[in-house]
Amino acid sequence: MIDGFLALYIFMLAAFTGKEVIARVPVILHTPLMSGSNFVHGIVLVGAMVALAHAESPLAIAIGFIGVVLGAGNAAGGYVVTERMLEMFKSSKDAKKD
Amino acid sequence: MDTQTLLVYLAKASYFLAAVLFILGIKRMSSPVTARKGIVQAGIGMVVATLATFAITGGHNLWLIVAGIAIGVVPTWLWGKKVAMTDMPQMVALFNGMGGGSAAAIGAGELLKFTQAGAAVPPLATLALAVIGALIGSISMTGSIIAWAKLDGRMDKRFTFAGQQFVNFAVFAAAVLVGAAIVFWKLDANLVVVFFLLALAFGVLMTLPIGGADMPVVISLYNALTGLAVAFEGYVMQIEALIIAGTVVGAAGTFLTQLMAKAMNRPISNVLFSNFGGGGGGEEIAGSQKPIEASDAASLLYLADKVIIVPGYGMAVAQAQHKIWELSQALIKAGKDVKFAIHPVAGRMPGHMNVLLAEAGVPYDLIADMEDINPEFKTCDVAIVIGANDVVNPAAKTDKSSPIYGMPILDVVDARQVIVIKRGKGTGFAGIENALFYQDNTRMLYADGKEAASRLIAELKAIDGGGH
């Protein structure tokens, strides 16, 4: 069980981590990075799966099902779009190799 | 240790691994050299976490879960594969909206469970975070859908009415009050329904008055909000991977939003609460725009040693990036120094131009950021501006009455010769005149970007052929 101050510490440390890991991002990667972080919060799928697994009433099952569909869409769409953008980032050296 | 305990341990260990992979993945995505590895790494984290979750769901509603994943994955995967590069910004908005919706759905399900007769009263922190996460997730969902509709050209760019800000504030305040009532007063199903309706409505209302020029900042903000919503619902569900990944994205997204807003010299509060792009303002400009033919423009390029190309949203609309790269290759082959200058907010999203140029095959080392390229305009023989307007407007530096005063710009004004490729005499997003177009050393090539580039390539060939 994650509770009280322990949760607060986790939030705080993760927030600093988030800011620090992208602190030196060049402008050319802003859009792919936004897209990539958009993919990462697709992890919400896992939460929706657990919610659906615990759902009993028809309404709860319907809500959980919607959550799973939307979460899966976030993850899958976010990955494809980011991967397509980053696929194109090549330096002149790479381009010659191909 | 029984099997179920073992499976839970396995799942928890997988979530830990996934959290590490996400953080490393995001870190790698912030450098061009490692970016491609970064997304693959984050992808592995996602697959590991999703598979591990089956270990703790214990087979309950198993086929519904599998069906839900299939319905979510297949169409978005196929759509994401085939959508044009120019449409990427709205796709990011749409997928972000889905994430927000998923977080809101988790919140709705949990709140519903709490309201049932005989349910245990949840701890205050759990209840409060379920409500806040649901509020943020709902706003992010409907807001992102409106942003998608606007960028996809399905909706009029801006929608305003008298007293709009008051109405918006009232709806937001009502959502917060009802949310507080659920947490502190009465866990009631009807209140929960009203709460969600208000939150969803506020997302729509908040985004309606925001113009296209500000959309990048708004999408980035909604991305950060979805991250936060995921983190809060993660606490409610007690799943560590959601808390870590959601908070990291929330913080990184907020920082990215600030970077973008700073590049536009527009505080985030201005983007959200003031109406931009009303036009007017600024000083009158003396003189006239001087047109040029493609053949003459080609001669200027033929004589130049150093050429800087400044692309803007017009290039994306005209789908001209491939032709522009072809033109650049012709110039490079003729021994000229060619570079691309990118304003941080050119296009609909920061980095939008880079993505388009990369798609056309332009190596990223030919592409320069604003700070790096600005001193070079002084030594540049010809600057070609294609479909960019406000980001090269010198009024941002000289005219205090201009709405864009103070925004950092590309110093195209310093180049010896400027060729502006533009479809007509209209103004940019901000709806203001551009003094650059009236300068003595500026020539206007009135044409669609793609067509202009083709004609320049043909004329260059003709000059080259005639010289030998």
Report the mean per-residue pLDDT for chain B.
Answer: 87
What digits encode the pLDDT tens for the residues B414-439?
A: 999 999 998 877 666 566 778 888 88
Q: What is the pLDDT of residue B264?
A: 67
Kindly determine whether residue A38 and residue B80, on different chains, have CB atoms separated by under 8 Å.
Answer: no
d(CA B12, CA B70): 24
Let me know: does A69 contact B101? Beta carbons within 8 Å.
no
Percent pLDDT > 70 in chain B is 92
User: pLDDT band at A97, cuts 50/70/90?
Assistant: very low
pLDDT at residue A14 is higher than 50? yes
The model's confidence at residue B387, banded by pLDDT at 50, 70 and 90, is: confident
- The band of A5, judged by pLDDT with boundaries at 50, 70 and 90, is confident
Neighbours of B9 (CB within 10 A): 13
- pLDDT score at B276: 46
d(CA B373, CA B340): 9
- Between CA B251 and CA A86 the distance in angstroms is 22
Torsion A20-A21-A27-A32 (CA) sign: negative
Closest residue of chain A to B254, computed from CA coordinates: A19
Cα distance between residue B287 and residue B110, in whole Å: 66
Average pLDDT over residues B154-172: 81
Q: What is the mean pLDDT of residues A21-41?
A: 87
pLDDT at B36 over 80: yes
Q: What is the rounded distance in angstroms from the CA atom of residue B317 to the CA atom of residue B310?
A: 15
Q: How far is B432 from chain A (nearest CA, A)?
A: 26
Residue type, B48: V
Please tell me the predicted confidence (pLDDT) of residue B277: 41
DSSP state of B291: B
Q: If you average pLDDT over each of B98-107, B315-324, B325-334, B342-351, which comes out highest?
A: B98-107
- What ipTM score was computed for the predicted complex, to two decimals? 0.93
As a whole number, mean pLDDT of residues B255-278 equals 71
Residue with tokens 């913080």: B251
Interface test with A, best of B14, B17, B29 (most A CBs within 10 A): B29
Q: How many CB atoms lie within 10 A of CB A97?
A: 8
Output the pLDDT for position B283: 57
Mean local confidence (pLDDT), B290-299? 88
Going by DSSP bridges, is the β-strand pair B417-422/B442-446 parallel, antiparallel, or unpaired?
parallel
How many angstroms separate the CA atoms of B259 and B410, rounded?
17
Question: Contacts of residue B26 in chain A, CB cutoff 8 Å?
Answer: 18, 21-22, 33, 36-37, 40
Q: Is the pLDDT of residue B3 over 50?
A: yes
Q: Distance between CA B391 and CA B343 in Å, rounded?
A: 7
Cα B420 from Cα B449, distance rounded (Å): 10
Distances in whole angstroms, Cα of residue B134 to Cα of each of B99, B101, B438: 12, 9, 52
Question: B96, A38: Cβ pair inside 8 Å?
Answer: yes
Say what the pLDDT of residue B430 is: 60
Distance between CA atoms of A16 and A24, rounded to whole angstroms? 14
* Radius of gyration in angstroms for the set of CA atoms belonging to chain A, rounded to a whole number: 19
What pLDDT does A27 receive?
72
- Best mean pLDDT range from B19-33, B113-127, B143-157, B355-369: B19-33
pLDDT in tens, A35-92: 999 999 999 999 999 999 999 899 999 999 999 999 999 999 999 999 998 887 765 5
Cβ–Cβ under 8 Å, residues B402 and B282: yes
**Location of structure tokens 């991002």:** A25
* Average pLDDT of span B306-313: 91
Complete DSSP assignment for B150-180? HHTTSS-S----TTHHHHHHHHHHHHHHHHH
The beta-carbon neighbor of A41 closest among B94, B105, B230 is: B230
The three-state secondary structure class of B311 is strand
The pTM of the full predicted model, rounded to 2 decimals, is 0.80
CA distances to B28, B401, B434 from B369, in Å: 20, 27, 22
Task: Give the chain B residue whose CA is nearest to the CA of A98.
Answer: B361
B222, B228, B233, B238 alpha-carbon torsion, rounded to 10°: 150
Task: Give the catalytic positions of B in this structure.
Answer: 390
Work out the number of other CB atoms within 10 angstroms of the CB of residue B233.
33
A-chain residues near B239 (CB < 8 A): 46-47, 50
Residue B312 pairs in a beta bridge with none
Q: What is the pLDDT of residues B54-96, one digit of tens each?
A: 988 878 899 999 999 999 999 999 999 998 877 888 899 999 9
Provide the shortest C-alpha distance from residue B415 to chain A (in Å).
Answer: 23
Q: List, edge to edge, every strand of the sheet that includes B417-422.
A: B367-369, B337-342, B306-311, B382-386, B417-422, B442-446
Q: Which residues pair with B306 in a beta bridge?
A: B337
Please tell me which residue, B433 or B6, carries the higher pLDDT value.
Answer: B6
User: Does the beta-carbon distance from B237 to A50 stay under 8 Å?
Assistant: yes
Alpha carbon distance A15, B245 (integer Å):
10
Q: Over pLDDT 90: what percentage of chain B?
A: 50
Mean pLDDT within B34-62 = 92
Of A46-60, B150-164, B308-322, least confident by mean pLDDT is: B150-164
Please write the tens of the pLDDT for every residue from B229-255. Answer: 999 999 999 999 999 999 999 999 999
- Is pLDDT of B456 > 60? yes
